[in-house]
Amino acid sequence: MPVRRWAPLAPLLAVVVLLAVPPPPGATGTGTPADAASAVLVAFCAVRAVRDRARPLTPTAAAVLGLPVLGICAAAVASHDPAASLPGVARYLQVFVLVPAAVVLLVRDRRDFAVVTWAVIGLALAQGGLGVVQYLTGTGASYMGEDVRAVGTFGPTDVMGMATVVSYGIVAAAGIALGAPGRRARAAALLCGGLLTVPLVVSFSRGAWIATVATCALLLVLSGLRRAARVGLAAGALGVVLVAGLGVGSQMVQERVASISRVTAAPDRSVTDRYTMWAAAAGMWRAEPLTGVGLKGFPQYRDGHASLALSSGSDTAGAGQGFQRQPLLSPHNMYLLVLGEQGLLGLLTVAGGWLALLACALRRLWDTRGNGPECGPVAVGLLVWQLVDFAYADIGGPATVLTALVLGLAAWWSFAPAATTAPARTVHPQGGPPPAPAGDSAAPGPATRRSGGTVPATATAPGAVAGRGTAQGTAAPGTATAPAAPSGAGIRAAGVPRG
C-alpha cells in the first residue's frame, strides 16, 4: 500500500504510539504527549472538514455524540464556581465529544479500522510486556508490601492505566478472533489475546478482570450459543488444571481473586473507601439533584458528604518512585461521578449518549450477523468493556485519551455508511459474476441438437458480441451468444479477445 493511503491516519496513530511514552513527573492525566496529540487530531479533522467537507457527520451521529454537551455545559453554568469547572468542561468535551467525532471523521473504511485496532493491540503488548517484567523482577508498583504490581509506563499513581490498555487489547483480539474472515488474522489475534492475559492478571485490578471476563463472555454468546458453551467448558477445564492441578498463580493472585466474593462481607480498605465515596457522590446528588455540584467539584464537597470510614488517601510507591500519599479525588464510579457533579440532567445526557451508542452498535451487529466484518465484534466489545468498567472506575490518568479513541471506534461502527464497513467483494464491470480469466473466453454450455447427432454447444463469455465467435465474423453453428456489449471495452473487461 502506498504511504498516501495511510497518511490521514497519522494523527490518530500518533495518539496510540505516544501512550507508550512515560508521563511527565507529577502529571495528572491532562498534560501528557498523548493528550497533545489528541488536540492535534481534533484540529486536523476540523481543518479538513472545513476545507473540503470530507466526511460530515450524519444527523444521528451528530445527535448522539453531541448529546453530552448539554449536560456538561449546564453543570458548568450552574456550578457554584464556574471558573473552577472550566478544566472539567474541556476534559469531558475532549473525551466524550471531540476525539470520538474526530475518529469517526478520520476512519474511512474497515481497513483503517483494522489498522487502528492492531495499533491498540500492539500498545497493549508493549505495556503488558513491560508489566510482566516489572512483576518478575520486583520493579513494579507496591502491592501488599512488595513491588510486584504491573503498571507499565503509567507509574504507581495510575495503577489502572496498564490494566485498561491490556484489557482493550484482549477485547479487540477476541473480536478479531470471532469475526475475522482469514485464518491468519484469527490465529494472530488468539495468540495476542493469550499473551495479554498474563499482564492483566498481574495488574491485580479486580474491575478490569470483571469487565474483561464479562465482555468476552458476551462476545462469545453473540457469536453463537454452541461456540460459547464449548469455549466456556474448555476455559473452565483449563483453569482447573492450571490452578488446582499445577498450582499456577501466586498466593497474591489467589487472594485477590478470592477478595472479589468478599467485597460485602469482609471488604478491605480500598473497598471501604470506594463504598464511602459512592455514598458521598449520592449525597451530592441529593443536595443538587438537577445539575449537581459542578464539574471538578467532588474533591471540594467530598468531606461534607462522606462518613468517618473514609481514609485520608491511598499509599503509592514503587516503579521508580518513592512513597506518596495519593488523595482520593473521585468516587471510582463514572456513573456516580457524573450524577454527583452534573446531576440528573448530566446523567441522562452523558450516560444516555453511551446507551444510545451501544444500542446503535448492537443493532448494526445484529443486522450484519453471519456476513459482517470483524469491526462489529471489536467495536461492540470495546464499548461494552468500557461501560462495565465505568462501574468500578472513572476518567482520569494518561490512559483516558485511549478511552476517547475507543468510543470513537464504536461510534464509527454505529454510524458509518454500510459500504465502508462491508467486506471487499469482486464486482464485474457489467454486473453479475466476476469475469473469466483471459484466454478462457468460452465455457462448456448445454448440448445443442443437430442433424447427425448431439454437438456440445459453446457459451460465449459475458460481454462478447454476437457474430465474433469465428474468424469469418459469424457465429459457429450451435453457439449460444450473449447480447452485444456497448463497446469494445466491455469485451476486454470480460476477458474475451477481439475478433
**Strands, DSSP E only, in 272-420?**
314-318, 321-326
Q: Where are the alpha helices (DSSP H) in 246-333?
A: 251-259, 269-287, 298-305
The predicted structure's pLDDT at residue 153? 92
Q: What pLDDT is attached to residue 247? A: 46
Strands of 146-149's sheet in order across:
146-149, 141-143, 314-318, 321-326
Find cell 484469527 and name the residue.
Answer: 186
Cβ-based neighbour number of residue 353 at 10 Å: 24
Tell me what pLDDT residue 25 has.
65
Burial-class residue 131 by CB neighbours within 10 Å (0-12, 13-18, 19+). Answer: buried
Q: What is the pLDDT of residue 444?
A: 41
What SS3 state is found at 142? strand
* Distance, CA of 303 to CA of 322 (rounded, Å): 27
Q: Encode pLDDT of 213-244 as tens digits.
A: 999 999 998 887 887 787 777 777 766 655 55
To which H or E segment does residue 189 belong? helix 183-201
The ranges of the chain with pLDDT < 70 are 1-3, 24-30, 53-55, 238-250, 261-266, 312, 315, 320, 370-372, 418-499
Q: Tell me if the pTM is above 0.85.
A: no
How far, in Å, are 217, 333, 345, 355 from residue 223 at the CA level?
A: 10, 30, 36, 21
| Beta-strand pair 321-326/314-318 | antiparallel
pLDDT digits (tens, 9 = 90+) for 151-186: 999 988 888 999 999 999 999 999 999 887 778 888
With the C-alpha atoms ordered 414, 417, 418, 423, is the resulting torsion angle positive or negative?
negative
Q: Which distant-in-sequence residues (6+ apart) come within 8 Å of 138 by Cβ?
A: 146, 147, 148
| DSSP string for residues in 420-483 | HHSPP----TTSSSPPPPTT--EEEEEEEEETTEEEEEEEEPTTPPTT-SSTTSSPPTTEE-PP
φ/ψ (deg, to 5) at 149: -80, 125
H or E stretch covering 181: none
Which pairs from 325-328 meet CB under 8 Å and 24+ separation? 326/157, 327/299, 328/273, 328/277, 328/302
Distance CA 135, CA 447 (A): 75
Going by C-beta distance under 8 Å and a sequence separation of 6 or more, which residues neighbour residue 477? Answer: 450, 455
